[in-house]
Amino acid sequence: MSFTTTILQWYQKNGRMLPWRQTRDPYAIWLSEIILQQTRIEQGQPYWQRFIKRWPTVDHLAQASEDEVLRLWQGLGYYSRARHLLQAARQVVAMGGFPKDMKALRSLKGVGDYTAAAIGSIAFDLPVAVVDGNVYRVLSRYYGITTPINSTAGKHEFAALAQQLLPEHQAADYNQAMMDFGALQCTPKGQQCQRCPLQETCVACREGRVDTLPVKLKTVKVSERLITYIYIRCNGQTAIRRRPEGDIWQGLWEPPMISPDALPAEGGHLTLVCSKLRHVLTHRVILADCWLWETATRPPLSDDYIWIDESALDHYAVSRLVEMMLQKIHTNND
């Protein structure tokens, strides 16, 4: 039995029942693919459901504000995805609907080769193979391929092989089968090898190389960044600003990022809420000191800060780090 046939048969018995697989609506499929970039299905599915409920069509989403989208996205991280989501929705509306060819799909903001292939094959039956981390892992192990998956040569090699294996008239099922097979059967630690339908013909399994494949070039070393936040409480209000372009958390809101030494020497009470609060990003670890400054007089701040009622904070999208800080402040108050 061929590799492709085995994968399809496995999928018929073991494929995950996911809500965006019960439709051919390109909006629902595109939304799921963007949300699930860098996100586990268990975490992403409630977000998909909330987005669909709030904006049931791409036309509805295109009319949303960036703040509304960022607020609903809060907690998923990688916030550029949310901004690109809104931009792409507006592109689709301007086009008169979702494009049905790969070149036009790739032109949508935030849509790369993988996402375009997923939308194209599942929504429009385009015979294009998806290649993601799951596909790299399955193919590298089954065929014993040692070319690094994050090298230019590796990307070309795996894309060509994936396309060669694709059954032209079953592209949607096959692509989803490969995603699920990598997620459920051919897992990173290879715990399921003894129950794998490909066990007898898998090179990595036969040669004891499951733990060494796929090969990946070493990436950038993780660095640390230290920051200090001052949460100001002044007569039931607090000061926040929108983070500028060109840095992490672009477009999200945050309290003043200043040193306690910059505050007035008198007229308020300063409390350390937490020290070295840790938040891990892809290539960076953020360590934050968080202070609460309670005062009856507004301290001088730059023009990019606005004053809002503390009760209105929930209407502003913030990073996970700021969310954790606010939770600690409110817990200390209770």
Give the pLDDT score at 219.
Answer: 72
Q: Among 33-47, 155-169, 180-194, 264-278, whose mean pLDDT is lowest? A: 264-278
Tell me the domain boundaries of the chain. 3-212, 223-333
Give the pLDDT score at 244.
Answer: 87
Give the pLDDT score at 245.
Answer: 83
Which one, of 54, 93, 92, lies nearest residue 71 by Cα? 54
Strands 284-295 and 237-242: unpaired
Residue 65 pLDDT exceeds 90: yes
What average pLDDT does the segment 15-20 reach? 93
> With contact defined as beta carbons under 8 Å apart, do 198 and 141 qualify?
no
Residue 282 pLDDT exceeds 80: no
Give the pLDDT score at 334.
Answer: 53
Q: Pinpoint the alpha helices (H) of the chain.
A: 3-14, 26-35, 41-54, 58-62, 66-73, 80-95, 102-106, 113-124, 133-143, 152-165, 171-180, 203-207, 320-333
Please state, in angstroms and rounded to a whole number, the distance separating the CA atoms of residues 56 and 50.
Answer: 10
Per DSSP, 303 falls in state: T
Q: Pinpoint the alpha helices (H) of 166-220.
A: 171-180, 203-207
Portion of the chain with pLDDT greater than 90, in percent: 69
pLDDT digit string, tens, across residues 87-108:
999 999 999 999 999 999 999 9
Please state, in angstroms and rounded to a whole number, the distance separating the CA atoms of residues 258 and 263.
Answer: 9
| pTM of the complete model | 0.79
Joined tokens for residue 324: 């954790």
Q: Which residues are catalytic?
A: 33
Q: Does domain 3-212 have CATH number 1.20.1560.10?
A: no
Average pLDDT, rounded, for the chain: 91
Name the CATH architecture for the domain at 223-333.
Alpha-Beta Complex (3.90)
> With contact defined as beta carbons under 8 Å apart, do 168 and 3 qualify?
no
Residue 27 pLDDT exceeds 60: yes
Give the pLDDT score at 24.
Answer: 93
pLDDT digit string, tens, across residues 126-174:
999 999 999 999 999 999 999 999 999 999 999 999 999 999 899 999 9
Residues 211-216: contacts with CB under 8 Å, at least 24 apart: 213/137, 213/140, 213/141, 213/144, 213/145, 213/146, 214/136, 214/137, 214/140, 214/141, 214/145, 214/148, 214/149, 215/140, 215/146, 215/147, 215/148, 215/149, 215/154, 216/148, 216/149, 216/150
